[in-house]
Amino acid sequence: MAEKNKKWRNPFYALLIPSGAAFCVTAFAYGFMAFQQVNAGRAAIAAHENHPLYDWLRSHGTTAILVELAILAVLTVGAIATDNWWTSEEVPPSQNSDGE
């Protein structure tokens, strides 16, 4: 009896989870920082002004979000483009209908 071919999992899906989580954290932190700067009073802005996360987001936030978005785009296209290849079940040569 022929061994049944097992389906492989698409590795792009495993890579999409941590990169999507990183993008969500960065986007929420960047949005919260921007929202706080627009709507908070001067005292609240001064209280968080020297926070290391806000300093980093002010200088690298836009770049980080764009890089993470590009990574998500590449991984998504890769997952969609290779999904059939990773999940297709090939028929072993001994089970071909050609009779060879």
Q: Quick one: which H or E segment has residue 97?
A: none
pLDDT tens per residue across span 29-80:
998 888 877 877 666 667 667 778 888 888 999 999 999 999 999 999 998 8
Q: How far is CA 29 from CA 25, 38, 59, 69, in A?
A: 6, 14, 13, 15
Q: Can you give the pTM of this predicted structure?
A: 0.68
* Sheet strands (E) in the chain: none
In the chain, domain spans: 22-81
Q: What is the mean pLDDT of residues 79-85?
A: 84
